[in-house]
Amino acid sequence: MGILFGTDGVRGTANIELTPEMAFDLGRAGSYALAKQEAGTRPRILVGKDTRISGDMLEAALQAGICSTGADVLKVGIIPTPAIAYLTRYYQASCGIVISASHNPVADNGIKFFGPSGYKLPDEVEAEIEQLVLSGTRELTRPRGADVGRVYDVKEAENNYLRYLTDCYSLKEDLYGLRVVMDCANGAAYNVGPELWHRLGARVIAINDKPNGVNINERCGSTYTDTLRKEVIEQQADLGVAYDGDADRCIIVDERGNELDGDYIMLICALDAYRQGKLDPPSIVATVMSNIGLEIALRRENIRIESCKVGDRYVLEKMQETGSLLGGEQSGHIIFSRYATTGDGLLTSIKVAEVLKRSGISLSELAREMEKQPQLLVNVSLENKDEILGHELVVASLKEAERRLGEWGKLVVRPSGTEPLVRIMAQGSDRYLLEEVIDSIKKAIATAQN
């Protein structure tokens, strides 16, 4: 990845790393690069954000940069990230930009681009935008008079997104009788989330739906489900849903208060689709970090798992390569390619509700089809990662670890892309074996460093 763009756009501490000046330059560079691809037309760029306090500051700077090149802004306000992907296509915009740091704390923020098709911008376009920002945007085009860009408030954006989501709902009957507790993470789903479930006929109890600019993801949402789990039990709900700050992912809680992560969500949705004859090809995409129990459960039904690196962009690439209709991560970032171009927590949650309604079986029973295997994750500090991981002692210890774990075990050694450390993850039925295996790898690494 580049210097500015990571796997999920540009991220950083707002006003320190991700400054208004950078947002201005990203607006100028992005609209300039897109204008070159659309010669003869005036670019229209859709801009939305989540609820964090720095969003207003970055939005103003970003919009100023866009308008300074002669492009127009379609301003949609606070709205989930996947809504930007959909609405970019709906309004035939040149691109969509969302200002959000997803599940990160309030001090962080980010700027993420979607192309006109609703997919992430091609790498070469991101690289061009990055180079323009790094080299300075002062000399880029500066129209005057009537050619300066305008900002248009798009009042119906949220309603159009809601209509799209309700169109994705495939059952003939609504969700009447289903009691849902929803944790909105004080984020972008605080309004659209409850409204969606109301439209589908469910009984909704919304929590953490009062954002104040600083409480986004604060002990709530998909990364902190304790409150939701208690509320589901107290309300005797059928289903609990926790979104993250920009609602591109969700975690499910069953009627007993048990947390069901993305592996369980993929299991439930994949088995339901397969048994209806709607999983063609019979495969899903999951990252190397998914629990081996998911593969065991799906293999019983002759459903394949196509494995990929961690990151939603790699999930999507693998889905496009294999034609798989479903893919995702343990974090709850799930992609239904029949309906969407990116992960959408709201879409994911209603697809789980469909299975619940159609089957008449409780979530805890649906989740029983998978038995999660013990999983052990250890971080090892390592400066010269490539050199040490290529050392003959370490290579030999990794091969021996894989042999000991056997066919139904799993070993993943993944250098961090942002920190001087290596993540070692081992899975299998015997936790003591996992500890022994990881300990032997750590000893080999220590020896190789001396």
Q: Are 11 and 107 in contact (CB under 8 A)?
A: no
| DSSP-derived 3-state class of residue 415 | strand
**What are the average pLDDT values for consecutive 10-residue runs of the chain, which has 450 residues?**
76 95 96 78 94 98 97 98 98 96 95 94 89 90 94 97 97 96 98 98 98 98 97 98 97 98 98 96 95 94 94 92 97 97 97 96 96 91 83 92 89 78 89 93 89
Q: What is the pLDDT of residue 310?
A: 86
Question: Hey, which residues are catalytic here?
Answer: 102
Which residue in this structure is represented by tokens 């690439």? 317
Query: For residues 315 and 169, what is the distance between their CA atoms, to the nearest angstrom?
Result: 23
The residue type found at 197 is: W
| Burial class of residue 98 in the structure, from the number of CB atoms within 10 Å of its CB (0-12 exposed, 13-18 middle, 19+ buried) | buried
What CA–CA distance (Å, rounded) separates 109 from 201? 34
> CA-to-CA distance for 408 and 430, rounded, in angstroms?
11
3-state SS of 51-95 is CCCHHHHHHHHHHHHHHHCCCEEEEEEECCHHHHHHHHHHCCCCE
Burial-class residue 440 by CB neighbours within 10 Å (0-12, 13-18, 19+). Answer: middle
Q: Where are the beta strands (DSSP E) in 68-194?
A: 72-78, 95-99, 108-114, 151-153, 179-183
- pLDDT of the residue at 167: 97
Among 389, 397, 392, 385, smallest CA distance to 421 is for 385
Task: Give residue 417's pLDDT.
Answer: 62
Place of tokens 């309300």: 235
Residue with tokens 């649906």: 366
The predicted pLDDT at position 1 comes to 46
pLDDT score of 386: 80
Strand partners, 33: none
End-to-end CA distance of the chain: 31
Predicted confidence at residue 5, as pLDDT, reads 85
Nearest Cα neighbor of 104 from 206, 3, 187 is 187
Instruction: Identify residue 301 by its one-letter amino acid code.
Output: E
Report yes or no: 32 and 139 within 8 Å, Cβ to Cβ. no
Categorise residue 247: left if φ over 0, alpha if ψ from -120 to 50, beta otherwise.
left
How far apart, in Å, are the Cα atoms of 23 and each of 58, 242, 249? 6, 30, 25
Instruction: At 178, list the tokens.
Output: 């289903």
